Structure 1
Amino acid sequence: MKKKILTALAALAALIVLACIAMWPRAHFVPSSSAAAFAPSAANIARGDYLAKAGDCMACHTVRGGAPYAGGRMLATPFGQVAAPNITPDPTHGIGNWSADDFWNALHNGKSRDGRLLYPAFPYTHYTKVTRDDTDALFAFMRSVPAQPIANVPHALRFPYNQQFMLAGWRLLYFKPAVFEASANQSAQWNRGAYLVEGLGHCSACHSSRNQLGASDGGLSGGLIPVLGWYAPSLTSDAEAGLGGWTVPEIVSLLRTGVSPRATVFGPMAEVVQRSLQHLSGPDAEAMAVYLKALPATPSPAPAPGRAAPRGPRVERLLARGAKLYQTHCIDCHGADGKGLPPHYPPLAGNRALTMDSPVNAVRIVLNGGFAPSTAGNPRPYGMPPYAHVLGDEQVAAVVSYLRNSWGNDGAPVGAEEVNRHRAVPLD
């Protein structure tokens, strides 16, 4: 009997191994169109520079105040810290000895030159859709930046997440190399926008929910950005940041300048606009706007528990206290009617950032201030000062609750405990 059980277990193990082999996301290879595609020509370097900005490569691969693309920035994740590597052409610490195929393999298949599997903090799950010609132009540009002999910092991930076998299992479940496939039913402009949003722009890296293993659902339905403590709103729901009712010029303005008559970007999105999106060409920004505007709308989520409940004396006292704080600290810019003076002072009346189920962004802006990015189209943006040193947790809860329940806004009240939790989240 024991021998039969062992035989059955061995057969089951063999079947599992065979299933894993069959399901394993094999490396996918697309050859260069020609050696000229990655040659260090002025045209290739300029194109690669543009693509590097569109992909926001410097955001991760440049430590604050450090040499461009020399790595060293520690990227916080729920599993520990991932160190962004040096990608300058230094032959020892960078990619000086890499070939164009090696570079393609990293972006498309998530594998380093030495065969190591790369952690998906490097968004190869999105970059896998980047064309080979664009990858080759990126390679030409990266080979043109000044080489920096700066050693790479090791990752600081917890066990067992620091093991390659765990990463192999994650890839088996959540990653398969792919190329962007244009939709024959859509215009060339829509397809260009889809390519940028889904590939280089890797928008769903923030604007989607993640499971316990850090895998994105791949959509744009919104989600809390792990560790950073900001909520990236849904781009498909009108209850959050759905763009179906916006005009294309309004979306383009927000992407390229950080401000528009309808909204202003703050938090992590301000950094994305400043470092990346403002550098998009007009046609590319318009293509992204067309694609985002055309996303199928998702139904608005059910109201948060207690949102529609009658206000009791405690809530009324909270809102009255918030009203007084608003008159003291906010009314000069945002007005008694909450309409503000857009784009300099964003409107609060009807502001979806205030009425989303999650109040985290509103709380963090009151605590840490709101600063739109400085861009070519808006070089001297107006900012909101931080109030963390002025207002206590109960006061912040009162004023945010007031903002969420005034001028037609309808949001659940915020408690001091929630404010305190967000106060403790580091800015970077």
Structure 2
Amino acid sequence: MKRILLALLLLISAIPAVMVSMQFVDHDDDAPPQSAAPMNPEQQVIRGAYLARAGDCMACHTARGGQPYAGGRAISTPFGTLYAPNITADNETGLGSWNTKDFWRALHHGKSKDGSFLYPAFPYPNYTKVTREDADALFSYLQTIKPVHQVNQEHELRFPYNYRILLAGWRALYFTPGSYAPENKQSVEWNRGAYLVQGLGHCSACHTTRNAFGATVDKSDLAGGLIPIMNWYAPSLTSDAEAGLGKWEIAHITALLKTGVSPRSTVFGPMAEVVSQSLQHLTDSDIQAMAVYLKSLPQNDPPPALDTAQPDKATADRILQTGSKIYEKQCAECHQANGQGIAPAYPPMSGNRSLTMGSAVNPIRMVLNGGFPPSTEGNPRPYGMPPFGQALNDQEVAAVVSYIRNSWENRAGFVSPQEVNRYRSIPLD
């Protein structure tokens, strides 16, 4: 609590300096000029539609059962609930009265048309890397979306986060506008992948730890983090102890990104939606570029920080014996007694890094709630896992998860019944 209060004081103290500087320098005018020879308008719209897929814009800006891009989807955060705005071409409630510069300012500077600060639930710390050409193409596409007159809902944030002026301090501490700068020593393909991952893909929004004020921690970029409220752990992409891809084959990475399944792993939870709504629609060359970049990330293997205290040997042996019986009865038919699974329908348990991370939240939630990988063109009829939350109590779930985390070649921490109970009532999304 003291740390939060101290951080609040820092945010507030930063506001005067930021406001003074804003009086003298209008950084919003640093937008690169539009190209002197813009692409054909039809081609620009097509390009923008593709970029909207790459950024997965519809995921947030479409309420369930609502009109595409008309906003209204509730986004739960530790600070309250935000509601995604209408970005159709409606003149009154959408982007119909905006121009390309207004849109660039939103993506690049995190400011609305009227100059007000946008909340960083809109991932402008990533979108700031998007080029002016791509921003203009994306805006051109959104202007073709059928106008929907739907008034934007007011955010429901707790005090003091409902004071938008506090974002001045947040931005001073955690946000610097800047376009993607290509690495001259890297290939064109690598740079394309980096541009997509760091920018429109906004991968760090989930795969990086956030501090008490929702800002990603730069020093742990893509090093994994618990997704707030949703309580899914987005594994580290820079550690072979988690989901680091340094030892993966490029073909397996591309398969996972494009179809949701691969010989090494299967995606579930929030990542399944990303693959379904966004990644499967990207070109093979862009998926390949992302895979090349992700595989190149520096890898490290820090010891996992276990979520719970570990049992003594006698207790551990008893838990593993119980878990073994449950696994044989409920799991072995699909995942095999040797834990090798039947790829790609049933992912392997043995050597599966997603099961042996310090946080066991993902396997706990899968056992409790089950789930499906995404239905994609490359995997149109995915095999799902049934829920066992009704059949197994907390002790039994803890036992079977502990068993799969400590059998075959797996070695990880044990799971407590209390930890299982913590996630039993949390919905999947």
Assess same fold via TM > 0.5.
yes
Deviation at 1:126, TM superposition (A): 0.3
Q: AA paired with 2:152?
A: N
Partner of 1:413: helix, strand, or coil? coil
Query: 2:320·2:403 contact (CA, 8 Å) conserved in 1?
Result: yes
Provide the rounded CA distance (Å) in 2 between the counterparts of 1:22 and 1:259: 50
Structure 2 partner of 1:392: 393
Q: Structure 1: which 5+ runs fail to align?
A: 1-12
Task: Call closer, same or farther: CA 1:305–1:422 in 2, change over 3 Å.
Answer: closer
Q: Say whether residues 1:413 and 2:419 are aligned partners.
A: no
Structure 2 partner of 1:109: 109
1:321-400 equivalences in 2 (<5 Å): 321-400=322-401
Structure 2 partner of 1:225: 227
Structure 2 partner of 1:63: 63
Structure 2 partner of 1:260: 262
Provide the rounded CA distance (Å) in 2 between the counterparts of 1:25 and 1:319: 63
Query: 1:37·1:136 contact (CA, 8 Å) conserved in 2?
Result: no
Structure 2 partner of 1:6: none
Higher-Rg structure is 1
Query: 2:81·2:157 contact (CA, 8 Å) conserved in 1?
Result: yes
Query: 1:63·1:72 contact (CA, 8 Å) conserved in 2?
Result: yes
Structure 1 partner of 2:94: 94
Query: 2:13·2:169 contact (CA, 8 Å) conserved in 1?
Result: no
Deviation at 1:34, TM superposition (A): 3.7
1:72-91 equivalences in 2 (<5 Å): 72-91=72-91
Deviation at 1:297, TM superposition (A): 1.1
Provide the rounded CA distance (Å) in 1 between the counterparts of 2:236 and 2:13: 43
Provide the rounded CA distance (Å) in 1 between the counterparts of 2:52 and 2:366: 29
Query: 1:89·1:148 contact (CA, 8 Å) conserved in 2?
Result: yes
Q: Say whether residues 1:312 and 2:310 are aligned partners.
A: no
Q: AA paired with 1:248?
A: I
Partner of 1:382: helix, strand, or coil? coil
Partner of 1:244: helix, strand, or coil? coil
Task: Call closer, same or farther: CA 1:408–1:255 in 2, change over 3 Å.
Answer: same
Q: AA paired with 1:250?
A: H
Deviation at 1:305, TM superposition (A): 8.5
Structure 2 partner of 1:197: 197
Q: Say whether residues 1:150 and 2:150 are aligned partners.
A: yes
1:117-266 equivalences in 2 (<5 Å): 117-218=117-218, 219-266=221-268
Task: Call closer, same or farther: CA 1:264–1:186 in 2, change over 3 Å.
Answer: same
Structure 1 partner of 2:6: none
Provide the rounded CA distance (Å) in 2 between the counterparts of 1:31 and 1:19: 24
Structure 1 partner of 2:282: 280
Query: 1:72·1:86 contact (CA, 8 Å) conserved in 2?
Result: yes
Partner of 2:150: helix, strand, or coil? coil
Structure 1 partner of 2:403: 402
Provide the rounded CA distance (Å) in 2 between the counterparts of 1:15 and 1:108: 21
Partner of 2:165: helix, strand, or coil? helix
Shifted more, 78-87 versus 25-34: the winner is 25-34
Provide the rounded CA distance (Å) in 2 between the counterparts of 1:310 and 1:182: 50
Shifted more, 408-417 versus 126-135: the winner is 408-417
Task: Call closer, same or farther: CA 1:153–1:414 in 2, change over 3 Å.
Answer: same
Provide the rounded CA distance (Å) in 1 between the counterparts of 2:414 and 2:26: 47
Q: AA paired with 2:302?
A: S
Provide the rounded CA distance (Å) in 2 between the counterparts of 1:107 and 1:354: 36
TM-score w.r.t. the length of structure 2 is: 0.92
Aligned with 1:296 (options 276, 295, 298)? 298
Q: AA paired with 2:330?
A: H
The CA deviation string for residues 101-154 of structure 1, in whole angstroms up to 9 with x for no partner, is 101111111011111110000000100000000000000100001111111111
Partner of 1:224: helix, strand, or coil? strand
Deviation at 1:315, TM superposition (A): 1.7
Q: AA paired with 1:137?
A: A
Query: 2:334·2:341 contact (CA, 8 Å) conserved in 1?
Result: yes
Task: Call closer, same or farther: CA 1:21–1:247 in 2, change over 3 Å.
Answer: farther
- Percent identical among aligned pairs is 57
Q: AA paired with 2:43?
A: A
Provide the rounded CA distance (Å) in 2 between the counterparts of 1:141 and 1:88: 10
Query: 2:74·2:83 contact (CA, 8 Å) conserved in 1?
Result: yes
Partner of 1:76: helix, strand, or coil? strand
Q: AA paired with 2:283?
A: S
Q: AA paired with 1:318?
A: I
Query: 1:38·1:136 contact (CA, 8 Å) conserved in 2?
Result: no
The CA deviation string for residues 357-397 of structure 1, in whole angstroms up to 9 with x for no partner, is 11000000101113100011111111101111111111111
Query: 2:305·2:359 contact (CA, 8 Å) conserved in 1?
Result: no
Provide the rounded CA distance (Å) in 2 between the counterparts of 1:96 and 1:19: 31
Task: Call closer, same or farther: CA 1:284–1:195 in 2, change over 3 Å.
Answer: same
Query: 2:53·2:278 contact (CA, 8 Å) conserved in 1?
Result: yes
Query: 1:27·1:177 contact (CA, 8 Å) conserved in 2?
Result: no
Q: Structure 2: which 5+ runs fail to align?
A: 1-11
Partner of 2:82: helix, strand, or coil? strand
Task: Call closer, same or farther: CA 1:21–1:383 in 2, change over 3 Å.
Answer: same
Shifted more, 83-92 versus 211-220: the winner is 211-220
1:26-45 equivalences in 2 (<5 Å): 26-27=27-28, 29-34=30-35, 37=38, 41-45=41-45
Provide the rounded CA distance (Å) in 2 between the counterparts of 1:79 and 1:64: 22
